[in-house]
Amino acid sequence: MLKSVRKTLVMLKECFSMSLSNILGNRVRSFLTVLGILIGVAAVIALITTVSGFSGTLSSSFMSMGAGTLSVSVTGSDLKSGMTADDLKEISEMDEVEGITPNVSLRSRVSRGGNYETNVSVSGKNAYYFYRDAELVQRGRAVHPTDEENSTFVCLITQEMMETFFYGVDPVGETLYIDGTPFRVIGILSDADSDSILSLLSGGSDIVIPYTTALKMNNENVVTSFTVYLAEGEDSENASAALEEKMDAMFSFEEDCFTVTTMSGIEDTMESMLSMVSTLLAGIASIALVVGGIGIMNMMLTTVTERTMEIGLKKALGAIPWQIQIQFLIESFLLSVIGGLLGIAVGLILSFALCQVMGMTFTFSLSAIALGVGFSAAVGILFGWAPARKASRLNPIDALRAM
């Protein structure tokens, strides 16, 4: 038993070295054959690595902005169309909650002097919104609680607005007309990240005013959208359950009056979308792998025909069918694994370059490499099987007659 295992190992080693010398002896042809696998594996790896880099970048920005927040949107019932100031106060006093910010948004015509712009995004926020993140205000002052209480006509504007309406003038203390109502500019918003994907998601606005003022301008007295900031260490799932319970009571347990969205929920959705996209792309790329496999099969079939005499000779010298089969199988396996390794190298270089260009973090994904090697080995064995079998079944007499 042990002896036959040893014999087999000796034989396999010889097969490897003979296959390698066959592959290297036909360098150009081997390279062209391997090219299909190379491209397939490189494409799969580049796609997976790039997409995972993208999702890593995305989720880290989600973390920086969204961990520990809930966003609530209220559709209301017939009896109660939205949240009153008292409701909001009650929610902000919950144990799980550190604070809340109502979001009241409007689209307005903004003008000053002869300049005007329509469809400017104006949003109403509260003092807490600014208190929470001191860096929001670049210059001037934030919205104060007194502004909230008295619905004062004050606003903060972005750099872009400043350039549009106050070219060469310090805007702080100046007046800006929003839908015809004079507002006093009290500060400039910092525009960090204003061009990132996330500012689009978070609904970056050009002008911020106290939310009570915004409600008045909308002729409303209830808030229909707000963000809840959770107290430190609160789990967003628990907090969202507590919040839902509280709001259910506020809306007299009528159904479908509001939805609570957790940021991690959004992130999950995002990630599952991304993984779907990456699976789809990898699926498309693996078509290249199949094509590459067919290339290998074709080359192996040609090789079997070319080496009919060699096969016949080996059989005459005492090679049994499976020894012939294993030799050809090893050859196609080696071919495609060589292709796979080259493909991994090319794929990693490609995705590194892509990540650099797109400003994403490059993550060296072991699973992508395992996938590449596994895929190419599988392709080699799968597509090498038929030619190897054909070789092993050649009748030695016919094979020798070909000489």
Instruction: List residues bridging with 175 in a β-sheet.
Output: 184
> Should residue 113 be labelled a site residue for other proteins when binding is judged by CB under 8 A?
no
> Should residue 334 be labelled a site residue for other proteins when binding is judged by CB under 8 A?
no
CB of 20 to other proteins, least distance (A): 11
Rg (CA), the chain: 34
Question: Could you count the other beta carbons within 10 Å of the beta carbon of residue 181?
Answer: 13
Closest CA to 143 of 164, 161, 122, 115: 122
CB of 32 to other proteins, least distance (A): 19
CB of 300 to other proteins, least distance (A): 17
> Should residue 225 be labelled a site residue for other proteins when binding is judged by CB under 8 A?
no
Beta strand pairing status for 115-125 and 175-178?
Answer: unpaired
Cβ distance to other proteins smaller for residue 22 or 225: 22
Considering only the stretches 20-28, 52-60, 62-70, 185-193, report the one whose residues sit in contact with other proteins under the rule CB under 8 A.
20-28
Cβ distance to other proteins smaller for residue 25 or 180: 25
Query: How far from each other are the two terminal CA atoms of the chain, in whole angstroms?
Result: 38
> Which of 10, 249, 273, 291 is in the footprint of other proteins by CB under 8 A?
10
Cβ distance to other proteins smaller for residue 41 or 300: 300
Cβ distance to other proteins smaller for residue 264 or 325: 325
CB of 394 to other proteins, least distance (A): 11
Cβ distance to other proteins smaller for residue 204 or 396: 396
Contacts of other proteins in 383-402 (CB under 8 A)? 396-397, 400
Considering only the stretches 1-9, 35-43, 110-118, 138-146, report the one whose residues sit in contact with other proteins under the rule CB under 8 A.
1-9
Q: Is the dihedral of CA 121, 127, 133, 135 positive or negative?
A: positive
Considering only the stretches 245-253, 285-293, 310-318, 371-379, report the one whose residues sit in contact with other proteins under the rule CB under 8 A.
310-318
> Which of 1, 4, 86, 114 is in the footprint of other proteins by CB under 8 A?
4
* Strand ranges in 8-114 using DSSP code E only, listed in sequence order: 69-74, 97-102, 104-112
The angle at the Cα of 366, spanning 364 to 371, to the nearest 5 degrees, equals: 125
CB of 360 to other proteins, least distance (A): 48
- Burial group, residue 348, by CB count within 10 angstroms (0-12, 13-18, 19+): buried
Contacts of other proteins in 290-309 (CB under 8 A)? 309
Q: Mapping DSSP to helix (H, G, I), strand (E, B) and coil, where does residue 67 land?
A: coil
Q: How big is the site for other proteins, counted in residues (CB under 8 A)?
A: 28
> Should residue 125 be labelled a site residue for other proteins when binding is judged by CB under 8 A?
no
Instruction: List residues bridging with 105 in a β-sheet.
Output: 123
CB of 362 to other proteins, least distance (A): 42
> Should residue 118 be labelled a site residue for other proteins when binding is judged by CB under 8 A?
no
Q: What is the DSSP letter of 135?
A: G
Cβ distance to other proteins smaller for residue 137 or 324: 324
Cβ distance to other proteins smaller for residue 285 or 319: 319
> Which of 182, 203, 321, 374 is in the footprint of other proteins by CB under 8 A?
321
Residue keyed to tokens 């005459």: 316
Cβ distance to other proteins smaller for residue 11 or 35: 11
Q: What is the DSSP letter of 136?
A: G
> Should residue 310 be labelled a site residue for other proteins when binding is judged by CB under 8 A?
yes
Q: Which two tokens stand for residue 63?
A: 């973390």
Q: What is the DSSP letter of 206?
A: S
Report which secondary-structure segment, H or E, holds 213: helix 211-217
- CA 306, CA 50: separation in Å to the nearest integer? 42
Which residues, in sequence order, are CB contacts of 173 under 8 Å at separation 6+?
Answer: 184, 185, 186
- CA 96, CA 242: separation in Å to the nearest integer? 8
Contact between 189 and 157 (Cβ < 8 Å): yes
Cβ distance to other proteins smaller for residue 14 or 160: 14
Q: Which two tokens stand for residue 71?
A: 């966003």
* Residues that bind other proteins in the complex, under the rule CB under 8 A: 4, 6-8, 10-11, 14, 18, 21-22, 25, 309-310, 313-323, 396-397, 400, 403
